Structure 1
């Protein structure tokens, strides 16, 4: 099986602004800090995983820009794949996490999606939907690239569902663990993973 290095994108404009990004094309590019994070992660990958054979990236701008920085260091082309996108958060996208919503704030609504993984935000995906999409995608990469190391540039939600031991298909809550910008998580398809320090 392939070894998969999952990279969350660097800090984006909406990360800095505290807005819900999801799949919104308006979430913006990387900030100056995000570019620096991407450069440091690229150096880490070159040092620790010099045999990486390919880079695949979510087609959302913040991920693609991160992948381009990594590609410049590793000397590999970037292949975009919309299956690596963040969860589609529908009507929540663009709102600030601290905005009032339904008697609480937007952050509460997002936390509830992880506790109740069958729940879909208006027009969006549930955590179960995201889990099924990401696991099918990673399994396909592993099957098609046996024995190779791949860099997959993606988002926080996909990294969380890729590494969880919970099964949202069984209505189990999924912990919304912290996934830092431009961090690297290394997976094999036996279910083992290890976070690389990249900051």
Structure 2
């Protein structure tokens, strides 16, 4: 079976490289984002999709609804697929968050955040793993970082370690992954994340993983969203 994984459509935040890790903010797709979701897809047999999944963020749920053509009463919403918690960087330029990460590393929690970059990726991968429990084919609408990590792993060489920054993922372009291959990717990436993980990150980041880790619910599409998405800094 196959899972189609994609970043939500473009928003004004993502267009300006502003970060939004708070799902309660009603940020929706902009005109380009809406238009991209209404273009016919030849790569995804939408009429055969059995399960639609998305993060809690309105922009992800809106993208799923637009792709389906109608509101989705049985959309599976899983908080493990959420965007990163940016803490005090919320709403600001991604470059400011990136500069902090470059100085402090991906295993440290930014000020006011409940998770580090690395633990956020680990949480997202746990959400992708849970997706495989649902009937396929599946469409999973998530955020730029998760898609960027998966694309990087697909194209990596064996000698490449997990980087601190990843190339920016395109909006609303599906990545098609068979179940057995997706399991291999998740296992390899989790192993990379566990290599040399500092023990002192557990105290600040464990709570966020537990909080988001097991909240999965069926929900009807509900309003807005838009957000940042990560652009690889020129120096990264």
TM-score normalised according to structure 2 size: 0.63
**CA displacement at 1:137 relative to structure 2:** 1.5
2:110 is aligned to 121
Between the aligned partners of 2:32 and 2:100, the Cα distance in structure 1 is 25
On the 8 A contact 2:102/2:164 being kept in 1, the answer is no
Residues 108 and 136 of structure 1, relative CA distance in 2, 3 Å threshold = closer
1:32 is aligned to 31
2:82 is aligned to 85
Q: Matched residue of 1:29: which SS? A: coil
Between the aligned partners of 2:3 and 2:41, the Cα distance in structure 1 is 15
5+ residue gaps, structure 1, are: 98-104, 193-199
**CA displacement at 1:177 relative to structure 2:** 1.3
1:9 is aligned to 8
Name which of structure 1's ranges 67-76 and 30-39 shifts more when overlaid on structure 2.
67-76
Q: Matched residue of 2:50: which SS? A: strand
On the 8 A contact 1:5/1:185 being kept in 2, the answer is yes
What does residue range 1-199 of structure 1 map to in structure 2 within 5 Å?
2-23=1-22, 25-26=24-25, 28-40=27-39, 43-44=40-41, 48-50=44-46, 51-72=48-69, 77-97=74-94, 106=96, 108-109=98-99, 112=102, 116-124=105-113, 125-142=115-132, 144-145=133-134, 148-165=136-153, 172-187=162-177, 188-191=182-185
Q: How many residue pairs were aligned?
A: 174
On the 8 A contact 1:111/1:176 being kept in 2, the answer is no
**CA displacement at 1:119 relative to structure 2:** 2.2
On the 8 A contact 1:12/1:34 being kept in 2, the answer is yes
Q: When you count strand as a share of all residues, which structure comes out higher?
A: 1
Relative contact order, CA 8 A, sep 6+: which one is greater?
2
Residues 72 and 136 of structure 1, relative CA distance in 2, 3 Å threshold = same
Between the aligned partners of 1:65 and 1:90, the Cα distance in structure 2 is 24
Between the aligned partners of 1:111 and 1:117, the Cα distance in structure 2 is 6
**CA displacement at 1:172 relative to structure 2:** 4.2
5+ residue gaps, structure 2, are: 187-236
Q: Kindly provide the CA deviation profile for residues 101-132 of structure 1, in whole angstroms up to 9, marking residues without a partner as x.
A: xxxx516426628x932122212221221222
Between the aligned partners of 1:75 and 1:145, the Cα distance in structure 2 is 16
**CA displacement at 1:85 relative to structure 2:** 0.8
Q: Kindly provide the CA deviation profile for residues 61-110 of structure 1, in whole angstroms up to 9, marking residues without a partner as x.
A: 1111111101227988422222211111111111134xxxxxxx516426
Q: Kindly provide the CA deviation profile for residues 121-161 of structure 1, in whole angstroms up to 9, marking residues without a partner as x.
A: 2122212212221221212222x136x21100110012223
